[in-house]
Structure 1
Amino acid sequence: MPFDPQAYRPERRILSLGEPFYDPVRAADFPQTRLRFRNDRAAAEAGLSGLDDAEWVTHLGRFAPLPDNLDEPLALRYHGHQFRSYNPDLGDGRGFTFAQLRDREGRLLDLGTKGSGQTPWSRFGDGRLTLKGGVREVLASEMLEALGVPTSRSLSLIETGEALERNDEPSPTRSAVLVRLSHGHIRIGTFQRLAYHRDEEAMRRLVRYVLAELYGEDGDDPVRLLELVVARTAVLAARYMAAGFVHGVLNSDNINVTGESFDYGPWRFAPTWDPAFTAAYFDHAGLYAFGRQPEAILWDVMQLASSLRLIADSDPMVAALDRFGEVYQPAVAEALLWRMGRAPRGDASDGTLVQAVERALRASGVGLDRFFFDVFAQELPASYGAEWDAARATLAGYAARTSRDHAYWRGEPCAMLIDEVEAIWAPIAERDDWGAFRAKLASIRQMAAALG
């Protein structure tokens, strides 16, 4: 029996939303299905780890329905602001929600795809994902999870045997289908679509669904929902900064109302603490630059508040939005201290330390990965110059939350800069050599264990 009756807990809660929220679709019929990555650790939480490779491909490559689950995939409908321009023609154009499950803690999990074929929302696209794009998403999600960022997890990557034409990759290039695990795929753009159509009844239904299924709360209070989303997204913004991560496309259709990061296209990790560093070559104005990500996420949450005005008064929502900064400041201090192997004090000294570290990082140009590796649970090395004096003095008052006993600390820092990503992809593209990819995943998981 490949499905563990204790761990496999199927759900169909999304069907309670009804027709205005999705379109039933079919997966593409791929020429081949070659399993390239399976995340057994994540699969175990969903009761799927007992699948052998053939069964895995049947369900996560050919998309045969899981037992007692959704009968057919659902392409979700939404709108969104893309680089601050409103687009009412969005929706799942190369993905769908394939199944729902409960994890070990009882939280709802959605199995969503990327590259699974055309839908009514494909907008002349082929509905496919390049293999390189799939590899990059696995690397991003694994690295972010290790660094404490709330993120969707890559569950499966299967090569599908098609030759794709792309403007941003040497073409033709190989194709793949990715399956990700996420605590819901409801976006800010889902609410924007209902506000656009002035559909009050559907908006109230969505608020009830998100509160009940994604937050575990009763009721249909839109202000309460906004408060929860503000808190979760402020923490997400803080964790992005501590991880040195730049998402690249923080449009409102790419912000999950659970505050869980997902959809990794033109992402990058910043080499240094450079607020102007961007990930997307087309982000000419630096709208989603490293240092502007908290502002960008707050702007998107403001669009949620604007949408909820369809069924709520403005004043309490303004008050809810004002809490973003109140949550963000201690959250970024806690996240940075966690990467430094320290326990936060919960007072003004946390903010003082953050400011001192940020100033020193900018002035010195020290690499982020090198700094966090060197400072973890120990004093700053003597090689760090005078620009670090203020940070050194403040840091001395913080106790280590753990030790450096793990073997990881006797090596070199695990990083994920763009040159290494390209170096991991090159042998796959040239000779189908996945050794560097597998080695990197092992290195990331070793780092995660060392960070605790």
Structure 2
Amino acid sequence: MLVSPAYRPEPRFIDLGPDYSDEVKSADFPQTTLRFRNDRAAAEVGLEGLTDAEWIAAFGRFQPLPGQPGPIAMRYHGHQFRQYNPDLGDGRGFLAAQMRDANGRLLDLGTKGSGQTPWSRNGDGRLTLKGGVREILAAAMLEALGVPTSRAFSLIETGEALERGDEPSPTRSAVLVRLSHSHVRFGTFQRAAYLGRTDQTEALLEHVRSLYHPQIAPGDAPGLLRAVVEASARLTARWIAAGFVHGVLNTDNLNVTGESFDYGPWRFLPHYDPAFTAAYFDQTGLYAFARQPEAVFWNLTQLAGALKPVADGPEGLTEALNSFGPAYIRELRAAFLMRLGVLSLGEAADQRLLDAALALLRENGEAMRWEPLFFDWFGGFASSARALSGPRGKLYQGEAFDAFRFALMEHEPDRIERLEHPMFAAREPEEMLIDEVETIWSAIAADDDWSPLNAKLARLEAARTAWGFRA
């Protein structure tokens, strides 16, 4: 197998021992047709030189990569829509490999749809091809918008007819591999606490601290919680600035590095709507767009509860939790400035711009889509001629717009040369609304036509370069 010198295997989760995971095997799929490989991500971990046959062997048949011990299903619990479930764990995925990237970060290759495990709970352990395509699109869009996210690494169609209750069946099957900074979830800690295994919590604390937050002193549970709070606040703020709704913010879907992953019923806002939900089964709007900060904070309190047995009293944990609100507001200001391509002018001026942008979106309602506002006014007032002569020029008037314009004029452009990218000569931005997602899938489902997906990914890569955001 041809790996480059940049490939640095370092399987570490298995060091925790058999109390945290189970050795598993991949399903034996009837076919393995390569549909997507992320060579840019692969180059970061030294795997871009794999031939397609080697790629399929590694990510369709799951023959272990050099220096890797083989697949393990991770054990965890979690709150699902705030109901505790002790019967979770990797039910249709596993940790396939861990390695360092060029920056020294420990990264995971994790699967989705790779077959049954001890935690499948009578499920088939499979993934629909449509689900895999949707995850590719979500991750690509979020990366382009500067959101800390896992990345779709590989998608291989597996040739099985799956029965599903929420889409036409039988439907095509696939196995997805994602590249992520960590798959250690809040629920990983919750499991140890539920079992009353303080020794497991202590070992997990040191594992996470040393590998992902080494600036924290050994044994400092409040310090680790504060680091996770900060990372989670940043992630949540960037979701909001991107107009993104994750859909299922259970404690097993948030991790210790503050990186978004596991995209199921996600959506991007068509326009400002605080009550917008992504999941048809979220009947109460628990995970609606504007309730995502509340949901993340609630989940952080569950993590704090799991850490309580290894903390020297509750005060430090409470203080760490209380830092979420200020951190979130600070990160939200920064995220909106990032999306508008302008520099900070200080807390008061930055808050005026945030408030004015939200007010403008709110006042225009369905007439103003979320993403075009940031596209039209990227670079601040330097884009005024482009915005006012564009397709939404007539919307940019009135008191709410005047407040937005004055707030924007206070801020200098950040890297104004980005406006020279050809993308900003277009009349419309790249978006990821559900109608386009369904159109892309329809071409695959009806005609096995992958060209709309590939074209969209090419445009998103151009957008990522044009925005130049730093996740």
- TM tier, smaller: over 0.9
The residue correspondences of 1:239-388 to structure 2 (distance < 5 A) are 239-312=238-311, 313-365=313-365, 366-377=368-379, 378-379=383-384, 381=388, 383=394, 384-386=396-398, 387-388=400-401
Separation of aligned partners in 1, 2:101 and 2:159: 32
- Match in the other structure for 1:113: 111
Partners of 2:75 and 2:90 within 8 A in 1: yes
Letter in 2 for 1:419: D
- Match in the other structure for 2:414: 401
Local SS of the residue matching 2:191: helix
Separation of aligned partners in 2, 1:254 and 1:280: 14
Pairing partner for 2:85 from 87, 90, 110:
87
- Match in the other structure for 1:196: 194
Separation of aligned partners in 2, 1:295 and 1:350: 23
Partners of 2:14 and 2:21 within 8 A in 1: no
Q: RMSD of the TM alignment (CA)? A: 1.0
Cα shift at 1:215: 2.0
Matched, 1:444 2:460: yes
Q: TM-score when scaled to structure 1? A: 0.98
- Match in the other structure for 2:445: 429
| Runs (5+) with no aligned partner, structure 2 | none
Local SS of the residue matching 2:404: helix
Separation of aligned partners in 2, 1:192 and 1:355: 37
Letter in 2 for 1:314: P
Separation of aligned partners in 1, 2:154 and 2:219: 35
Separation of aligned partners in 2, 1:419 and 1:234: 30
Letter in 2 for 1:431: D
Separation of aligned partners in 2, 1:125 and 1:343: 49
Letter in 2 for 1:445: E
- Match in the other structure for 1:27: 26
Letter in 2 for 1:391: F
1:27-81: CA deviations, max 9, x gaps?
00000000000000000001100001000000011000111112x2110011101
1:353-393: CA deviations, max 9, x gaps?
11111111011121111111111112352531213111111
Partners of 1:141 and 1:153 within 8 A in 2: yes
Cα shift at 1:402: 2.6
- Match in the other structure for 1:45: 44
1:315-336: CA deviations, max 9, x gaps?
1111001111111112111111
Partners of 2:345 and 2:410 within 8 A in 1: no
The residue correspondences of 1:180-259 to structure 2 (distance < 5 A) are 180-217=178-215, 219-259=218-258
Letter in 2 for 1:440: K
Partners of 1:330 and 1:346 within 8 A in 2: no
Separation of aligned partners in 1, 2:364 and 2:61: 51
Separation of aligned partners in 1, 2:306 and 2:352: 37
Percent identical pairs in the alignment equals 58
Cα shift at 1:221: 1.2
Partners of 1:187 and 1:254 within 8 A in 2: yes
Cα shift at 1:12: 1.8
Separation of aligned partners in 2, 1:370 and 1:18: 49
Letter in 1 for 2:51: D
Separation of aligned partners in 1, 2:120 and 2:14: 22
Local SS of the residue matching 2:175: strand
1:189-245: CA deviations, max 9, x gaps?
001111101101110000000011122345121111101000000001000000000
Separation of aligned partners in 1, 2:64 and 2:284: 44
Matched, 1:18 2:17: yes
Letter in 1 for 2:225: L
1:249-288: CA deviations, max 9, x gaps?
0000100111000000000001111110000001011000
Aligned length: 450
